[in-house]
Amino acid sequence: MVLVSPIEFIKMTNPWHLYLMASLYVFAGIMHFIKPKLYLRIMPRYLPNHKLLVILSGLAEVILGIGLCFEATKLLAIYGIMAMLILFLLVHFYMLSSKKAGAGIPRWILILRIPLQFALMYWAYTYL
């Protein structure tokens, strides 16, 4: 284990947009704990234990977002984010399956979320 000074720990060595991405994932993950009902409403019925999955997905987003900020964990976080976004496609396609599953979100927004997932995957991929 390598110990670093507090100055080196805080020093931003990555491009600002990587920190923007990290912030977005940390914020999104925290929202799982602030507004869990929002996420519970969109969970596919075929998945078990919705509360646990919402907690775990929120925790994953926070951990992976933080992981982007450190050289030692950046690569693992990038692959983790891409895998997570692939898994989240299950939710996006489920939400398109019926009006109730769509949770009142306009269909055109639900459709646009699919290519957005791929754009987010590509964004993460660019840091490899």
Query: Of 44, 38, 39, whose CA–CA distance to 98 is shortest?
Result: 44
DSSP class of residue 35 equals S
Query: Of 88, 68, 85, 84, whose CA–CA distance to 76 is shortest?
Result: 68
The Cα 57–Cα 112 span in angstroms is 21
Farthest-apart Cα atoms in the chain, separation: 53
Tens digit of pLDDT per residue, the chain (128 long)? 556 665 555 567 899 999 999 999 999 999 999 999 999 999 999 999 999 999 999 999 999 999 999 999 999 999 999 999 999 999 999 999 999 999 999 999 999 999 999 999 999 999 99
- What pLDDT score was predicted for residue 2? 57
| C-beta of residue 47 within 8 angstroms of C-beta of residue 53 | yes
- What pLDDT score was predicted for residue 13? 82
- Count CB neighbours of 68 within 10 A: 25
Amino acid at 59: L
DSSP string covering 43-94, please? S-TTSS-HHHHHHHHHHHHHHHHHHTTSHHHHHHHHHHHHHHHHHHHHHHHH
pTM beyond cutoff 0.95: no
